Each structure stands twice: as C-alpha cells, then as structure tokens.
Amino acid sequence: MTFSGLELPMGPVPALGEHNDAILTELGMRDGPSQAT
C-alpha cells in the first residue's frame, strides 16, 4: 500500500503481552493484572 508523499511507519513487532502493564494501568486495573492475564 503506497500513498504519495506519505511514509508509513514500520513499528516494532510486539512480544506476547508486552503492553499488558501499560494497558491495565490505562484502564485503572493495574492492581490485578494476574487476574486478568
């Protein structure tokens, strides 16, 4: 997929569960990550 004048980013490939802490913190559920995951 190409767009003129637009450079699409190629972000990193996530490890499994890499963003769990950040997402649970964002949701205000950081106290119980082991229960969620």
Residues that bind other proteins in the complex, under the rule CB under 8 A: 1, 3, 5-20, 22-24, 27, 29, 32, 35-37
Q: Residue 31: what residue type?
A: D
Q: How far is the CB of 7 from other proteins (least distance, A)?
A: 3
Angle, CA of 24, 28 and 31, to the nearest 5°: 75
Q: How far is the CB of 24 from other proteins (least distance, A)?
A: 7
Rounded Cα distance, 18 and 37, in Å: 12
Q: How far is the CB of 4 from other proteins (least distance, A)?
A: 9
